[in-house]
Structure 1
Amino acid sequence: MTAFEKPQIIAHIQKSLNYTVFDCKWVPCSAKFVTLGNYARGTGVIQLYEIQHGDVTLLREIEKAKPFKCGTFGAASLQQRYLATGDFDGNLNVWNLEAPLTPVYSVKGHKEIINAIDGVGGLGIGEGAPEIVTGSRDGTVKVWDSRQKDIPVANMEPVQGESKRDCWTVAFGNAYNQEERVVCAGYDNGDVKLFDLKNMSLRWETNIKNGVCSVEFDRKDISMNKLVATSLEGKFHVFDMRTQHPTKGFASVSEKAHKSTVWQVRHLPQNREIFMTAGGAGALHLWKYEYPVQRSKKDSEGVEMGVAGSVSLLQNVTLSTQPISSLDWSPDKRGLCVCSAFDQTVRVLIVTKLNKV
């Protein structure tokens, strides 16, 4: 690929905010996005923005008692587009942004802060029931169906006698039919755990030696293909999830991506081989995964094992001196994304030439 054909990451719009932003998400099928965070006075805030004529316009602001840490539209229908949020007090709330006075669903989900949230079964993405997964500092990972009241449909907590680990990140995957579904969770001690929701069992676990900041499957609604896990020490790992060896688990390749923490990974919705990592030093790195010639081989005993591919850096840009706390690709427009940083700024970015890579 020539330098001329390389994707460029362009900061299209920048908007300074008067609060700390922890998460931002595109509103599906729209030119709108939401930002979530907390004011210095300790309250939580959700803002709804729309892109108009090369700038962003604030449409609505919602202030609540507790700071918001994370949000997802993933369990909502396209008609409703309800936003599910996790807050600093362990509450899971689902909001109708058109009528946000009281949540349409609310549960005290955890004893401590909800660090991470994901949704599946909504937006026409993934088979099966619409479900939300939350991961908390209290060490538990819980799956919720907002059509059912206060009780989680699944609760993954440390076994008796096991020390409690801070869960930093969660992601759904393998939701390709009505029965199959997994949750991947990453913890502060480097543990990555894969929970099989169909069989209610721990399917696989590994440790990447550093706190796991973000995990994401390349697609939620296909048979497990790839999983990326990012860490505190600037590394990320790409696991090939097609072939699980009984003792060696999944094959993986790791890359030293940033000089500091890799806060998030997000796959391009229109091309699952391309993903972006967001770093603690304010940089974004755009990567492409290349599959090996053969994705599996037989070990000395004749048992199938996976073969990892390789990753190449397509482009990188430094946007801020502060960590980039969240990133979300537009599901509708290829190359459009929104990110927030701890410099209290939200940025709308355009990544060009993605159809050339």
Structure 2
Amino acid sequence: MLRALELAATPGVPLGPNPRVGCVLLDADGQEVAEGFHRGAGAPHAEVVALAEAGDRARGTTAVVTLEPCNHTGRTGPCAQALVDAGVRRVVFAQPDTNPVAEGGGAALAAAGVEVEHGLRETEARAVNRVWTFAVDHGRPFVTWKFATTLDGRSAAADGTSRWVSSPEARRDTHRLRALADTMLVGTNTIDVDDPELTVRDELDQPVPQQPLRAVMGLRDLPATKRVFNDRAPSLHLRTRDPHEALAALYRQDRQHVFLEGGPTLAAAFLEAGLVDEVVAYVAPMLLGAGRNAVADLGIHTMADARQLEVTDVTVLPGTDTAHHTNVRITMRPSPAVEEEA
């Protein structure tokens, strides 16, 4: 299974919309016969790749797969049936497939007389497809809220200026994180005031080939001349102020990971709705004393009601010279108690 997990996590494989899957075929002595991994939507599934490599040698083998073989016909046929047709004797999979479209592969295999086991290294398999698993289990995209702040919690000065709270190194790191999502989401006010392009750019500040969807949320009409509507990436105007409606619309388009970069009002709306699953804060060694808060009023009036977050990572992003300050990236998630309430 460890080898199958390595295959599933092969660098360069798209993070969505399909899950990343690895498969290894073993003979009766536990020796590898063939292996394969899924290269993205429309490509053969991991099991099919391994079966094609094995040919007639697949008969009587054990298939070790990171995700339960699918049981539906989409762009490709059902993997469960392919394993049966190839004469595979036993299937061991790590993570059950709870996608209602594809689930049931294990039962189909067992009904065909194939020995089936599951649960081996399921935690590691879920980690390979963290976002996909969350989206399937919750019926909505995973939401990462990213913001930059001074030490006293300001995202802009009293005159509205915000360039630059974050350092060049932090901004480059932000582009790296943007590339891990399939959707950028901001509010109409951010587009009106800042006119961001919301593209992902590389180390040379050039757009990368694969761009996330640029989604703008709000009822306000926006000029077509705004940079978010240029031809460098797809764009979508979600005419709603309801975070639940926005995420439902994106999920219907098979979007699984929303990178929330809107202003304090939009952030507060998602937090109040319990729809923030990860927080990435870039903290600059600055003090402003006044200015725009990183998040708007959450209706909290006592310390006992404070939103609790669990720190999962702290990374120092040093400046390249004395003119560029150091930032600290703090990655957090809602505490278990908050997740249960949401």
Same structural fold, with TM-score higher than 0.5 when normalized by the shorter chain: no
TM-score tier by shorter-chain length is under 0.3
TM-score normalised per structure 1: 0.23
Name the one with the larger helix percent. 2
Greater strand share, structure number? 1
